[in-house]
Amino acid sequence: MVTVEERYEHLEKTIRGYNISADLGQIRAAYEYAREHHGEQMRRDGSPYITHPLQVAQIVAEMRLDSESIIAALLHDCIEDTDCCYEDIAKRFGVTVADVVDGVTKLTRVKYSTMEEEQMENLRKMLFAMSRDIRVILIKIADRLHNMRTMEYQTPAKQKKKSFETMEIYAPIAHRLGLAKIKWELEDLSLKYLDPVAYEDIRQKLAAGSAQHGKFMSHIQEEINARLAEEGIPHATVYGRMKHPYSIYRKMYLQEKTMEELYDLFAFRVLVDTVPDCYNVLGVIHDIYKPILGRFKDYIATPKPNMYQSLHTTVIGEEGIPFEVQIRTYDMHAIAEYGVAAHWKYKQGIRGESGEASYEWIRRLLENQEDTDAEEFISSLKVDLFADEVFVFTPRGDVVNLPAGATPIDFAYSIHSAIGNTMVGAKVNGRMVGYDYQLHNGDVVEINTSKAAHGPSRDWMTIAKSSEARSKIRQWFKRERREENIARGRASFESELKHVGLNLSQVTAPDVLSSILKRVSFQSLDEMYAAIGYGGYTALKAVNRVRDELLQMSRAAALEKAAQEAAAAKAAQEAAKQPSLPRKVKSEKGIVVEGLSNCLVKFSKCCTPVPGDEITGFITRGYGVSVHRKDCPNADPARNAADQGRWIKVSWGEDVYESYSTSLEVVAKDRNNLLMDISAALSTCKVSVSNLNVHATADGFAIFHLTISVADSKQLEQVMRKIQQISSVMKVNRPAG
Ligand code: MN
């Protein structure tokens, strides 16, 4: 019997073997702490409980993990199985160790019920996501390995259940992390309980043939050794092994063959110092034995996604027995056996594309890990993958994968839209929560439904994180609330229209409605309103399209009009050749420009003329005719002699606009309510104001600048008189120049 203390000594020795700076003081403290707290607890095999954490720590040390991992491994069952707590561990061994122990405890508490195949990948992802720190999952794997090694003391039901979990969840995770040795041990141990008959059959056949196999293997080993020595390849280690039972089992099953028909039960390994040596060894092997075509694989040039590197070839010896040879460097071997954890010496870049995106994170992590030491490397291996996903359980134990930040609403709709639509409450881990509760990895979520439920509310749309939930909620509103949607949609459409200065009657006018509906792709306005109402279409989008369409139509109309006018103008020109007839003139903006038809006209900003004012025109360079009041200083022809020829006669036509924009300046003694009085005066004159600003002078005067719309100079005079009558107003004038 190995004593507990001897086991501990062995652990220390293993640690010293790879980590000279390990904190052995703290490690011993952790060992003693765990031993004390587990006290009289026993394993099922009758050994003291402390042997379990010790053996788990031993496996963790064989993975060559850092001191904190060893300490956490020793303490890994303390929170779950003894009276000590997170705070206690944090105080004695630091927050990092406590976090790792806590993480392992959380993984231990995950309940796996029988699951469908497609659930497994989600569950593996969830374990990763819950781990945060890669050490958590590595310790959990070590824990599981030791439990599997001691599984014979459990009940048959528990053996089956644990073996199934191990095969489906832990072995694939070990594989993903490149822990080949642990992976196959987990698989073999699981097979032993999952298919005891087949396992026993394979084991017995291997045992029965072992003398013969041993002879064969040592013969091959000697042959290879001799040739390598001859060729002068230094430091080569050659050894043979049988394929492990699960890999034989899988091959028998997949290839539907008996064990005797399988042809690579034997595998040899050649370990050398350098990559060139690997290829030299390959040449030597192919020289001694006949290679089987199509069985050579170069994982050195193209490493496997879990960083595995090796040359594989299958050859046939004199006896006609085929066997596999794996050739790799010692460094590559360490990675193959211990996985990513053994990686800190690995400096070669990873070449080649695997196409297996699920491993991408390991590569990403490793790319940043070139010159760090073991301790640093391990602690920086934070598992940040799946940061944008969250994994939760249904009450039945199915795993549901949702976007990070998901709420019970997302969960409900991911199960079925009927669940979401009849939801009246949600429980997480047995406690009622609000609909906006953010789900965490591993939460068990239960949705309460009722036939009398009112259905989703509109704010669920903003609470839900998944587009799936949002679109299902929209669907519901679309179906269930048509009348309400139409009213809502119409209201927001109208208010959006108002923003761009349109009103509904412009849209519903019979001559435009059909092309507008075509533009927004709806059969009727009600349908468009309904879509806006349930959120399938936005009012803004609708209005933009409507406005575009109206603009396009008015442009088309303008073109049409211009074409007609051009024709009319041509006719007029013809007519003008007859001098006796009065000359026909066209006006633009109510202005007739002598001798020019259809020319661009604008009103000058300096004097803002209105109908009734005496006006004159100035032919600008490129912008048509600018119209000034005759009394505007800028209209004084004497002002710029060079431009004298540009002045042209203009007059008000008969087809003037309804209103013209013009400016006024009001000077007043400042007082309370002055602005209000001016506004009142403007509104009694029914004049609209488009701009108003006030400038208060230091000596107590206020100068107002107004821009108003009037029909003509008569109305303007009226307005000016009205303002003039207001008390304290001193002067009202039309600015010019
Ligand atoms: Mn344990």
Give 81 Cα–ligand 1 centroid separation in angstroms. Answer: 9
Q: Does 89 score more than 50 pLDDT?
A: yes
Q: Which one is predicted more confidently, 623 or 381?
A: 623
Distance, CA 143 to ligand 1 centroid (Å)? 5
Q: Rounded to the nearest 10 degrees, what angle do helices 95-109 and 86-93 cross at?
A: 150
From ligand 1's centre to the CA of 150, what distance in Å? 11
CA 527 to chain centre: 34
User: Does the structure show a pLDDT above 90 at 432?
Assistant: yes
Expressed in angstroms and rounded, the spacing between residue 98 Cα and the centre of ligand 1 is 15
Which pairs count as long-range contacts for 447-452, CB under 8 Å and 24+ apart, including other chains? 447/408, 447/411, 447/412, 447/415, 447/419, 447/423, 448/423, 448/424, 449/419, 449/422, 449/423, 449/424, 450/422, 450/424, 451/422
pLDDT at residue 343, rounded to an integer: 46
| CB neighbourhood size of 622 (10 A) | 6
Q: How many CB atoms lie within 10 A of CB 120?
A: 17
Q: What is the mean pLDDT of residues 246-270?
A: 83
Query: Which residues on neighbouring strands pair with residue 667, listed in sequence order?
Result: 703, 731
- Does the annotation count 81 as an active-site position? yes
Q: Which of the following is catalytic: 6, 36, 80, 594?
A: 80
The pLDDT of residue 374: 38
pLDDT per residue as tens digits for the range 69-87: 999 999 999 998 888 899 9
Phi, psi of 421 (to 5 degrees): -70, -20
> In this structure, what DSSP letter does residue 302 have?
S
Q: Which residue pairs, CB below 8 angstroms and at least 24 apart, start in 39-48?
A: 39/82, 41/81, 41/82, 43/150, 43/153, 44/150, 44/153, 44/154, 45/150, 45/153, 48/4
Mean pLDDT (the chain, rounded): 82
Provide the CB-side half-sphere exposure for 51 (13 A, CA): 18
Q: Which of 12, 23, 81, 526 is catalytic?
A: 81
Mean pLDDT score, 314-324: 84
| Active-site residue flag, 80 | yes
- In the reported structure, the alpha carbon of residue 53 is separated from the centroid of ligand 1 by a whole-number distance in angstroms of 6
Most confident listed range (59-63, 99-103, 435-439, 715-719): 435-439
Express each pLDDT in 439-458 by its tens digit: 988 788 999 998 888 889 88
Q: How far is the CA of 342 from the centre of ligand 1 (A)?
A: 23
Distance from residue 293's CA to the centre of ligand 1 (Å): 47
34 Cα–ligand 1 center, Å: 12
The phi and psi torsions of 611 (rounded to 5 degrees) equal -55, 135
pLDDT grade for 90, boundaries at 50, 70 and 90: very high
Nearest to 341 by CA among 533, 135, 164: 135
Average pLDDT estimate for 190-196:
94
The pLDDT, as a whole number, for residue 305 is 63
pLDDT in tens, 320-379: 888 899 999 988 887 787 665 544 322 222 333 332 233 344 444 444 433 344 344 444
Dist. CA 260 → ligand 1 center (Å): 39
Q: Give 290-307 pLDDT, tens digit per residue.
A: 888 888 889 898 877 667
Q: What is the pLDDT of residues 718-731, one digit of tens each?
A: 899 989 888 888 88
Give CA–CA dist 668/71, Å, rounded.
Answer: 87
